[in-house]
Structure formats: C-alpha cells, structure tokens
Structure 1
C-alpha cells in the first residue's frame, strides 16, 4: 500500500476513519507513513495521553486550538516533539508557531534553545535572549525556515538580522565563514552586497535556498565567473563543475552558458534531467534550426529511448519529429514523458497520439501541460487516480483553462463528483478554474474531510460559495470559535470577512494572542 499512488492512500485512510475516527483509534489504525493523509478536522480529537505517540506527520496537522484542553506540561512535550530534522521535520505554519511560543514563554527552560524547534525560535521575544547567550540562539535558529513569516510579520525577519549583526559583531558586508555558519538559512535573505563581499562559503549556503532574487542571482554569477577556490576559473569548468553547481545554472543569464560551450557534448551524461533541458535550451537556442523533412539522425526505437543520451542525440527538433513514430510513442509513452522536458518536444510527442486510453492519460506527466482543451476532451478521464495524475504539481503548473477542461471531463462521467479525494487531488488553485455552479455542488462532508485548500486566486463569487459550504461544514465539528476560524480561514476573503465576525468573535489573529 505504501507504494500506491497518493490518491489511493488517501482513499484508504478515509475508509479507516469511517469505521472509527477517535484520536486513539486514528493512532492505532492509521499507519504512520500515511498520517499526512488524515483530514485535519479529525485531529481535534487527540487527548493529552496520546501526544507521545504522535508521528511527525500527525504533529504537522495538530491545530493550536487543541492544546487548550491539554495540560501545560503536555503542551511543552508536544512543542519539543516537533523538533525534528531532515525528512522527519514537522512543517508548521505561523499560527501554530506563534501559539506554541506563547504557550511555553513562561517556562524555566525557555532559553534552552536546543530543546525547541528552530521555527518556533523565529517568533521568540528577543528580550529573552541575553547578549552572552545570543550566539547560541542564532546557531539553533540557523536551520529555521525564514519563509514561514506572513507579510504581516515579515518585519521580524529584518529584526532578526539586525539582532544577529549586533550579536555577532557584523559591521560590514564582508561576512566570515564562521558568521555565515551561524546565520545559516538567514543568508537566503541577504542582499547582493553580502554575496559579493563575504567568504565564498556563502555560495554553498545559497544553494539550499528555496529561491533567489534576480539581484542575488546576478551576484552569485559574478562570484562564480570571477573564480573561486572550489570552482576555480570559469575557463577550467567541466561537466563535473556543472553538476557541482547544483541549481545555480537555472538562475544564471544566457551568457553564463558561454563558459560551457566547449563541453556542451558532456551534457548528454548529466543525470539531472530538468537541468539538462534548461542548459541545452540556452545553448542550442543560439543555433540556427534547419528545416528537415526526412529522418537522417536515426529512427527512434525503444532501444534509443532507453539510452542515457536520449533525447539529446536529437538537438534538431525537426529531426526529433521526423524520427519519432506514433507507434513508438504509444508503446513507450511513460518513459518518453519522463525523459523529454522541452515543451516543443513534448508537443510533438502529444501530436503523435491520435487516441489516448486512460492508462496512458495517467502517464502523460509534463506532456499534459502542453495539451489543448480540444485534445483533453478526447481523453478518457473516468477514475480519480487519473484526475490526480493530471493535477500532479510535479509535472509543472497547469493553465486554468486546461484545469477546467480536465475537471469538467472527469465530472461528465456519471457518478463522478467532487468528494474529498478529488478536492485533494485538484488542489485550491485549480479548483478556482471551475464555475460557481460546480463549486456549489461540493458537499459539506467533502470539504470538511479535504485538506485545507488555497483558494486565494478564486474570484469573490467563487470564494463566497466555498465559504458558505465551509461555514456549515465546520460549525458542527469545531468546539471553539478559534477552531472554527482556523478551519474556514482558507476560504475567507474581503467579501466574507464581515460575515465571519458574526460566527467567530475571536480576532482573526487569535493565534498570536493566545
């Protein structure tokens, strides 16, 4: 079951919960590996005695409101239990983190920073940090996710860096290796001056950042092309250098790739598919394409496709088109869509399919992103796992018009409707692509048992429909107004905010005040 698609695991967990959904039964019956599939509404039922048995995945879904019924000592154990690293890290949102800090702020070991999750330290009252202990605080903070700050509390990120500078004696933009180590993930938010002037170890730290701004990327490129002790002079760069640069090349300008022209043939052996596609596109875009109607580069067969150099043996898109037959695409579709990344090439792959049976629709992967609405209307989309595969975000963003076409095709099948499994598969942004009539048919139970949906891109009329369903869905399950607010918060907008106050008297930022 653990190797089954995510959507199948969700349905499996839903069936388990339909038998018994008490806190103890959930812990007993749902495998730890599937705990992330437990609908958040069921996590209110956990008691103090069951906290020590919670897995990282369950802790991630535990709402702050639930700790109101738990003894103070147990709350602290819960917070400490969330201090996990790597793949076991408990991903928490701002409302949970602020609530956790406010629950432990009076504890005698509050300054034992290594006992609590780094993300909780982000919301500490800095007056609790003494000058003699501040370096230890920032060392423990180095692994925190600084992107968790909301726009309202983003000032805390700036304040933290100001405090770090005072603590570590930083007076210039020339950071030492030791200072960079202590700052850790905070380096992801340093401006270009720090990147240009600091110890080159800052480059390795920036590799771990979720994103780089244009100014940061330009500074990184300047440092790299200027020569470093690790990567040496640009004139000596090889395929190994390219791999060691990790995702940096994806942020670089086109002239960065001039340093690799002489080793462009090495790209064939690069195992990182997405990077190969980007690099090859940047280099080959400067080459004039020839119009070829006859296959001269070699007919593409199953053996060709499984070769590690495919599709890079076909740099000319016209040759790729001429040498690829519909029969080969049909018989090897899954492998082809896993190896081909460029949109123009994917369009050719898709054009070879005159009819697409459902088992092949499920393996279209990135090719589904270049389809037209007319093509989608010819596909068989009858099963929820087919819907889930088409909505899979790892295949890239889905144009709203295509999302609407896919969902409409699925709902056109008799008996299909938007239940919790479908809502989880579709996700909030794609859900906003359908009409208000479709949204109005979502049941309260389906929305209640679904994951929290990010519907911030919905129009006000669609948001209002979802809000009304959510309000009715969660009113009967939530024991407190704060809990109700937390559940319906994803469906709030300016149009519904006033309405909310009549049902949830607690301030919208109640979690910050607890």
Structure 2
C-alpha cells in the first residue's frame, strides 16, 4: 500500500503522476476488485483529486464505467467534494463525462424511479445542469411521457426558470407535448416572461382543441390568463385556430374582444377579425351552430362567434356567414340585438341586420329592438302598423330619445294613423311625426286643440302645402284671428298655409315688427313665393326709398324686391347690400356704385357680383373692373358667381390686351371665350385645367365652342384617337360633358366621375355610359356585384340611365334607392322632364287588365313613401287608387307622380270626385299634374285667388301650352276685383304672352314698375309693343339716368320702336348682344353700323363672336362691306357691292320718347 503522507505538499505534477500510475497499474475497473475495495481506493485517492487536471477526468470516469451505479456515483460525489479546487475546464470535463455516462450504450442505466429532474440534479451534483435541448436529448423517445410525468410542476418551474436554460424554443414543446401535468403547471406556476412567451405556442393548440366547455373555460379563464399578452399575429392566424373546436373558438372571440389589451401587441383587432371571418366563412351555413346540440344551439350566434369584432364586419360577410333560414332565428335573438347597439358597427351592416330582421319577421315588435335601430330607414313602416296606441306613444318617445324624432314621412304616417285621440300632449309626443296626419284627421281636429298645440305643430318642418292649408282654414273658420305679427309668429311652420289675403290685411307695421325674427323669416321662405312677394311689398310700402328698402327687407328675401325699388338717390351702403341675396337684374341696379367706393371686391358675395355688365362698369377705372372680374373666379367654400354669356364676353372684352397667364384668377366660364392666341404655348395645359371647371352649357350652340375648344385641347394635350387617359380626363374636367359617345366608352373610367356633374346628357352619351359601366372595367365592378350602394355611388348618373341599366337591379333595390334619391332631386328642383324619363326607365312591366289591384291598395301611408309610385304600372295605379284616398292625399300624390299618363289618371279621378267642379283648395295642390289638363279640365277648376293662380303657373312644375295658360289666367281675371297686378305679373311670368292684346293693354304702369323683369321671349311683336309702351311710362321717372333706365326697361325693349332704340344708342348704355337680339327684327334691319356701334358700345367685339346668330347675321347681310368695316371687328356681308350711289338715308321721325340725359 502506498504511503500518502502529506499529499497537500505534492505538486500538481506529482499528484497527476501518482494518479496516472494508479490508473495504469491499479486495474481498479476490474471486476476482481470488490466494490468495498474500490471505494477504499477512492478514499485513498481523494487527496490526489485536489486541483485535478482536466486530462485525468476521463480516465477517472473510465474506472467506474464497468462497475456498478454506486461506484460511478461515488466518483462524482468524491469529485464534488473537491469542486472548489477544480478549474473551470476540469469541471466542464466532469460535466461532459457525467452526460456521456447518461447517454452511453445503456442510457439512464442508473435511473430507477422518482423524479427524473431530481435524479439528474443528484447525478450532476454541482457540475452545471443540462440546458433544455440537452435535457430533452437525455429522454429516450419511447420514455418521454413516462420520465416527464415524474417531474412535479414546481420542479419543472425550477428547471425552466434557470437562466438561459432554453437554448432551442422548439424543445420546450417536447416537454409540454409529453407532460401529463401541463394544465396544473399553467394554473399554479409562474415562470419568467421569456419562458411564457416560448411556452404559449406549445400549449396554444391544446387550448384550441378542447371540446368540453368547462375545460375551455379553464384554459382561457385560468391557465392562459398570464400568457395572452404574448400572443402573436402568427398564433392568431395559425392553422390551429382555423381548426379550433367551436367552444374554444367562441371563447377566443370573447377573450380577444373583451379582455385582451392591444396596446403593445404586434397585431390589432382587425387582424383578429380576419381570423374570425376566415373561420366562419368556411361552409354554406353558420359554423358553430347546431340546433340539435345543446352546446351549439344558441341563437345568439353573432354575440358568441363575432362579438365586439362586429365593428369590422361587412354586409357581404354577414350574408356569407349565415343562411336565410338561420337569419330568421338569429336576428330576433336579444343578445344579438344588444350586440348591434354598438355605434361603431358600420351603419350599412346595422341597416342590413334591420332589413333582414323585419324581412323574415314582419310582425316583430319595434319596441324590442335597440332604440338606435329605429333611426334606420330600413325599419319598414309596416313594422309600426301593428302597434297599439299605447305602444305607439312608447315608440314615439323612443324615437325622440334615440333619433331626435323621425323625418321619415312613411313612418310618420303609420304612427299618426295609430292614434285616435289628440291633445296638446299627444302632439308634443308625436313631434315631427305629426306631419303624418291625414288631411281627414286634420279636418276632424278641434280648433281649440290646434291652438293649444301650435307651439308643437309650428316646429314641424315637414308639413306639405295641403296640410298647412287645412290647419289655417280650420283656425280661420273657427273665428281665430290672424291679424297681427304675434299671431303670424305663433303659427310657426304652419305659416305656409296662410292665404295671401290674410297677409294683405295685416298692417305693414305689424309685418315689419316680425321681419327681423330669423325663425319667422325661415318659415316665410318655406311658404309659397306669392306670400313672400306680398310680404315684401307690404314692407316696402312703409318707406319706399331704396336705402330703407334694403334696410327693412330681410336679407334672405331680398330677391323679391322689385328692381325699381333699388334706385338709390344717395350713397349706397355696400356692406348692407352685401349681406343680402340678389338676382342678376337686381344687382345691376346698384353695381355701378361699386366704382364709387373702396369696398374690397374680394369680400363681395356672389349674388352681388352677378350685376357685372359692360353698362354697369362703364364709368369704373380699369383696375377696379379687373378686380371685380378676378373676384368672380372660383373659390373654395364660396358659391359660384352665376354669369350669363354676354356678361362673360363683356369681361373678356374688358381684359383684352391685359390678360394674365394665371388662368385660375379668372371666372372659369369666361375662359370659354378666350382666343387660343391669348394662351402662350407653354401654358396651354394650365389653361385647359382652369377651363375644366367651366359650365359649357352657358355658351350659345351657334358658337360651336364645344368642338372648337376640344380640338384645341387635343392639340395641347397630344390627344389622338378616341381614348382619353386619366390625366387627360382630369385636365378636361367639365369639358367631357361635351364629348360624344365614342370618347366616353373608350376612355379611362375616371370620365364617369366627371360626367356625374354634367347638367344634362344626350341619349348617345347615356348609351356610352351604360356600355362603359357594363364592361366591368370601372370601380363599380362587374354587373353581378351591383347593389344599392352602386346606385348611391353613381351620384347623379342614375337620373339619365335607361332600362338597359335598371334591368340589372331587383325591384326592391330600386325602390330603396328611390326613397333617398327622389327627395334630393325634388329639393334641387330637377326638371320634371328628367323625372318623367327616370320613372319610365325604372318602372316595372305592365300587368294585364282584369287582374284587380295586385300591387297593393294605395293608401295615405303608400303615398308618403318617397319612392311612390314606383312599383305601379299605369293599370295598377288606376285600379289601386281610390277616389277618397286621392282627395285625402292629393298634395302628396301630385308631388310624387311625374309620369304624364299617371297624371291623366289623377285628373280623371279628380273630375269624378268633383263633378260640379274641382274646389280651389284642391286646384292649388295639383303641381305638375296640372300640365296634362285639357281646356275642358281647366274649365271645371275654381281659380279666384292669386294663391291658386301662382300655384298653377309655378315654373318648377313645367311649362304651359299657350291655350291652357290663357284659360287659367282668363279664368282668374273673370273674378270681380282681380287684375294683372304686380303679384300676378310676377307669378305669371312668361305665360303673360298667352294673353290677348286687350288683356295686356289693361296692365297699369305701376304694376309693371312693381313687378320683376318679365321674360317676353315668347310674345309676339304686337304684344311686346303693347308691353313696351306701358313699361316706358312705368320707368319714365328714371329716364335721366341711362344706366338705371336701361336696366329697368331692358326686358321690354323687344317692343321698342326704331326711334327709341336710336335714342338709346346715344346714351352710352353698352347694350349686350342678348338684349340686341331681342329687339324687333324690323327695327334691327333699319339700324346703321353707326347706330349699332353706339348702341352696343364696349360689347362691339361680340358682334363678331355672335355673327352667325340670326339677328346679327340678318343685319350684317343688309349692310355693305364698307359699312361693316367701319366697325373694325371683322364682320363680313353677303350683300353685293352696289354699283350705283345709294339713295338718301331714310329720315326717322322722332316720337315722344323719354330721353336719357347724362
């Protein structure tokens, strides 16, 4: 035996040499040496293990390889006692050898049972510990579940919480895929965040695959609560989610919608919804719904499967997720209804929900839906028809609370029809829905109740004229006096029903006292124009000086002031003028005064600027004129200055020789008249860009501006062929309204957006638009995808489209569209001819006679629908419209029916209803229906009031045939006391030309003076002469002021004799070419070149512009070329040069005509 005295004194080399000798000669690995003897040797060797060299570690482990587990363990234990003396390299070598002993030919040969983690910890002692990948490598594949299941949750926590233990993320999934205590681990153990982050992807599929509700709740409410913040976009959109169990999916939706914080997340709610929609979109019916499965038979499908993510849903999503049969039960579920209360859900989706709800459940109680739903236009009026009076009151209160009342006339009609007992409190509850009252019900109301309810009734803005008339008639017939300002004010919006006679009988001082009340003025503006005119006449009567008239008449009603009342005797207060709204004729009366002030032209309102003419600016300095022209340029946030053609040419003439190349500084319409030579080549694109904002309909067709300008644009923009690219279309702007069909159908689809603002479209243009739309190459998509939104997005284009387009839509879709489209068109006063065409193109095919009323009886509710009479053909309209309904709803019906044939039915039935003659109150309500009346129909009408006359001749309702308008006016004049006063003249307008000379001769000069300028274009020469002579007397007091006098008498000059026209030519009035063309052709033919030059003044260049206009062409061809050359504007004549001296000029005999003195 060796003597190991004082081993500590040995050097490392000596100790290593001793050890090596023991390894080489001791044969300690031999089975012949007993374990007892082996352990004895190990104790002897212990001193030599101090500062053990790394190179001797493997040899030491080799001694124990062929011995029992106890011997191997003793070697490691012995080394552990010396660990503090061992270098890091030695310790690393020991760790490696321990690891190799576990991985050897007989892996884990020394593991018996108990915690595998404790076994490893004991095996490695303090010589480091395996990281995760090494740990998992020690697990024989066949024994992974067995060995891992021996580890307690706290031990696994200890292991996974070790610093840097996880070197390969995928290995952690090996643990949890085989660990039988994962659930308990997640519930009880709290590991570092980096471990949670790597753990979540491993357990995520386990949570999603759960099929038991309690288990699902445990996963999402307990186990994963600390892990959710580590969710990634990848996990949310993973394949596992798409294959999740329904219960797990629904829980996920709930958690992500209610409990998840997105602040620091790499994804948002939109990405979650994408996952949801993908999951739910798989299948033809609702996924996760089975009425035979107790776990999945809940009809709260939207709440369970989409929840708060409904804010991202589209109508297409909803319709794809569920079948119609499922929609029927889902839509009525209270949880779903509550879910859709969310104001953040797109209105289109809410509307679709409501539409579907009532489509499948027509009798569903509106009181069961969220209050906000009632604001939707998709709640059918029929839904309210089942409500009792008590429920109706509740509905009305909910409407007021959630929607600030209702403006839907159809809904109002149904709700009002449900109420039988009316009190002031009832009307207070009805609010705006009061306008749903039928005429019969209004007629049956107690006058006392009406008076007590005026504070409510007078705030309703949706009364039609017929209703307002009946209310006022009820009050007047009951003895209620409307005889002062306070009584008028108290009527509120019902003021519209006050007859003109009542206004005439109220003292002017009373009217003036309420004229400053903004609410009253607004109610006045909503009343018939004839009432406004009489009101203004009464105000003017208080003080007829122009300054007082401007001061006293309400700003919004200034357009009703006669031009003759705007003749100022002193300085003009432009600041007051500028607050009011004016017509062009009115503005011309005071426009000249702008040259006498330093008022900033940039601040002038657009209606004041309409007064610009060469006559009104003749005394102004050039700089001031240029400033006024610049002020007429297009400006954001300001209405366009509406100027006539001759005003625009005048502006151009004023600017000649001083034109800027900054074309945006000029009125866009004026640019139409620029000579292309005025545009420098490099600036042509900016010119056409500015020109693109112009209204090309302002130019006379005889000028051929459309083709000429487009040709120049083609040269500038390099356009060849009929295909315009998007850039070209953008530059051309409104000019595309002038292009023919070949350009429309072949150009970039942006052209559709420009065509939306055209004032009119030809049939060929419409055909091209339809062809382009149906190509599917526009933003409106393929024809098969068109829906109600398509119609809305097309803007004004549907007004022109034909059955080729409308045939692609279901009747229901068209009707829904019309409910909102038609009120807008009527408010904009779109021409009736356009509305007639629209109805023809949209309407259904004709039904066979004898089928009876199949579409549905026309009721007061039916006619309250803005889409009425869509859905009825002529036969059905005739059969389904009963006379009592027609009488009760005449105003509503006449407002909405535009088709001539339908209107003829209305008149026929009206004649049947009133065989002794149609009452005046009904005649007043006919509107455009009156235009199809025969002379026989008119003979049965009662027309004694100016209100009726004015209602019948409203220009908005269309033009009259001369015979019919004559019959109407004559019938009015047959009533004793009636005459063609100023009010009548204003109402009649151009219809005056239908009267006989004898009737015209009875017009008094004062009435011409107090009327608006009359349009006499359709009058005969003889009629014009009569009216001119009267007007000459009317305005004689102004003859000393050429500008004023010419402005006042301009519209009557078509009847002026040669002497008067020649006299005017001496007054420097700068007559525009429109007025020149209106002169008597016989007079024009006798005017010399000098006469015309003096007459038109600054407008002289316009003779060349309008040389092909009949009046100018005829005149110039009567003159010699020499005479025309004196004008210096390039006019030519077709008259041959005379070979003999001309006869002496004809001497014009002078008549007594007012002279204009400077």
The TM tier, using the shorter chain, reads 0.7 to 0.9
Offset of residue 199 of structure 1: 1.0
For residues 73-472 of structure 1, the aligned pairs below 5 Å read 73-84=623-634, 88-107=639-658, 110-151=660-701, 154-260=703-809, 263-269=810-816, 270-271=818-819, 272-273=821-822, 278=837, 281-282=840-841, 286-292=845-851, 295=853, 298-307=856-865, 310-312=868-870, 315-353=872-910, 354=914, 355-428=917-990, 430-470=991-1031
Q: Is 431-440 or 184-193 further displaced after alignment?
A: 431-440
Native 8 Å contact 2:907 2:933 kept in 1: yes
User: For the structure 1 residues 135 and 34, does the alpha-carbon distance in structure 2 shift closer, same or farther, using more than 3 Å as the test?
Assistant: farther
Task: Give the match's secondary structure for 1:432.
Answer: helix
Distance 2:748 2:896 in 1: 38
Q: How far, CA to CA, are the matches of 1:477 and 1:7 in structure 2?
A: 27
What are the superposed Cα offsets for residues 249-284 of structure 1, whole Å, 9 maximum, x if unpaired? 554454444433xx1232222223488875553465
Equivalenced residue count is 506
Q: Structure 2: how far apart are the matches of 1:499 and 1:8?
A: 45
- How far, CA to CA, are the matches of 1:240 and 1:329 in structure 2? 34
- CA displacement at 1:65 relative to structure 2: 0.8
- Quote the Cα distance in structure 2 between the aligned partners of 1:395 and 1:139: 37
Matched with 2:531 is 8
Quote the residue 1:44 is aligned against.
589
Whole-Å separation in 2 of the counterparts to 1:255 and 1:45:
52
Structure 2 distance, partners of 1:504, 1:39, is 31
In structure 2, do the counterparts of structure 1 residues 468 and 299 end up closer, same or farther at CA, with 3 Å as the change threshold?
Answer: same
Question: Take 1:394 and 1:114, find their aligned partners in 2: how far apart are those partners?
Answer: 34
Distance in 2, matches of 1:493 and 1:179, equals: 45
Farther off after superposition, 110-119 or 440-449: 440-449
**1:326-349, CA deviations, whole angstroms, 9 ceiling, x for partnerless residues?**
322222221222233323332333
Deviation per CA, 1:22-50: give whole Å up to 9, x if none: 4x555544444234334445443441246
Distance (Å, rounded) in 1 between the aligned partners of 2:531 and 2:1001: 26
- In 1, Cα distance between the equivalents of 2:652 and 2:608? 19
Residues 265 and 211 of structure 1, relative CA distance in 2, 3 Å threshold: same
2:272 equivalent in structure 1: none
CA distance in 1 between counterparts of 2:868 and 2:1015 reads 38
- Equivalent-residue separation in structure 1 for 2:795 and 2:898 (angstroms): 18
Deviation per residue, 1:110-143 (Å, 9 max, x gap) = 3332232212222334333222223222222221
CA–CA distance in structure 2, aligned partners of residues 38 and 134 of structure 1: 44
Cα distance, 1:316–1:130 mapped onto 2, change above 3 Å: closer
Alpha-carbon separation, structure 2, partners of 1:138 and 1:88: 22
The secondary structure found in structure 2 opposite 1:352 is helix
Instruction: Give me the whole-angstrom Cα distance separating, in 2, the residues matched to 1:192 and 1:206.
Output: 12
Tell me the alpha carbon deviations over residues 358-381 of structure 1, each in whole angstroms, 9 at most, x when there is no partner. Answer: 333222112212222222233232
Residues 20 and 283 (structure 1), Cα distance of their counterparts in 2 relative to 1, 3 Å cut: closer
Distance 2:1090 2:909 in 1: 55
Structure 1: any 5+ residue segments left out of the alignment? none
CA distance 1:175–1:308, shift in 2 (3 Å)? closer
Q: Distance in 1 between matches of 2:560 and 2:756?
A: 31
Say which is worse superposed, 476-485 or 295-304, in terms of deviation. Answer: 476-485
How far apart are the structure 2 equivalents of 1:236 and 1:229? Answer: 12
Shift of 1:105: 3.6
- CA gap of 1:419–1:71, structure 2 versus 1, over 3 A, is farther
In the alignment, the residues of structure 1 paired with residue 804 and residue 839 of structure 2 have an alpha-carbon distance, to the nearest angstrom, of 13
Contact 2:800 2:838 in 1 (8 A): no
Return closer, same or farther for 1:63/1:401 CA change in 2, 3 Å cut-off: same
Residue 513 of structure 1 pairs with residue 1100 of structure 2: yes
* Cα distance, 1:37–1:386 mapped onto 2, change above 3 Å: same
Offset of residue 7 of structure 1: 2.9
Q: Deviations over 1:425-479 (max 9, x none)?
A: 2222x22222222233333443455444443333343344334444555565353
Alpha-carbon separation, structure 2, partners of 1:414 and 1:78: 50
Please identify the structure whose Cα radius of gyration is greater.
2
CA 1:176 to 1:307, structure 2 compared with 1: closer, same or farther past 3 Å? closer
Q: After the TM superposition, which of the residue ranges 404-413 and 30-39 deviates more from structure 2? A: 30-39
Q: 2:850, 2:611 → 1: CA distance?
A: 56
Q: What's the CA shift string for 1:313-334, capped at 9, x where partnerless?
A: 5x25444334433322222221
Q: CA deviation at 1:223?
A: 1.6
* 1:33 aligns with one of 541, 556, 562: 556
SS of equivalent to 1:202:
helix
Q: SS where residue 994 of structure 2 aligns?
A: coil
Instruction: Give the TM-score normalised by structure 1.
Output: 0.85
Report the aligned-residue RMSD. 3.5
Please say which of residues 28-37 and 133-142 is displaced more in the overlay: 28-37
